[in-house]
Amino acid sequence: MTNTDASDARDRDADGRARNARPRDGLGRPLPYDAEGVARQPEGVVRTPDETVAEAQGLLDAGKPFHAHEVFEDAWKSGPQDERALWRGLAQLAVGLTHSARGNAVGGARLLRRGAAAVEEWAAARDSDHPYGMDLAGLAQWARELAQRVADGSGPVDARAEAPRLGGRGA
């Protein structure tokens, strides 16, 4: 196979940026091209904060924390500058749960702790522990407790059973 053949086999958009078109499972892991996967979250969707919380909660409840992470990532990238650290921290919590469910104890625990610290820091800087109805202190506690269990070798967790309640309005 020539280099041209190898690059043609890779998923690229018209600008040459990588776009993985392979189907994915509920935890975002790539599946073979001929497998039936879980519908992907569309990228770049602008939602209100309440819509973001409700959409992410539904995905978490369905055992799809990878997809919830993508919803939080959209809010992080499109939201007001002063809220980006909040949404980034929430995305870290969701991807920490993803890694924990995939059996990656080190990465899962690290991201859960990083996300917990981020949402607590954001809340402390604004004296706001319940933005958009979310319980940031409760989420941080959930994340640290799960991180400890995962780090202690509990093995892969059930993403649906371990999904946190964001506490958002409509969630």
Predicted confidence (pLDDT) per residue in 88-141, tens digit: 999 999 999 999 999 999 999 999 999 999 999 999 998 888 999 999 999 999
The pTM assigned to this predicted structure is 0.83
Domain count, the chain: 2
113 touches 146 (CB < 8 A): no
Q: Per the domain annotation, does 146 fall within a domain?
A: yes
Q: Per the domain annotation, does 167 fall within a domain?
A: no
Q: Six-digit token pair at 130? A: 């319940």
Residues 108 and 68 in one domain: yes
Q: Per the domain annotation, does 154 fall within a domain?
A: yes
Enclosing domain of residue 4:
1-40
| Number of Cβ within a 10 Å radius of residue 85 | 15
Q: Six-digit token pair at 166? A: 């964001």
Residues 20 and 101 in one domain: no
CATH number of the domain that 82 lies in? Answer: 1.10.3450.10
Considering just the CA atoms, what is the radius of gyration of the chain in Å? Answer: 17
119 touches 125 (CB < 8 A): no
Q: Answer with the residue of higher pLDDT: 45 or 19.
A: 45
Residues 28 and 68 in one domain: no
Q: Per the domain annotation, does 168 fall within a domain?
A: no
Residues 22 and 92 in one domain: no
How does pLDDT run across 21-44, given as a tens digit for each residue? 788 888 888 888 888 888 877 788
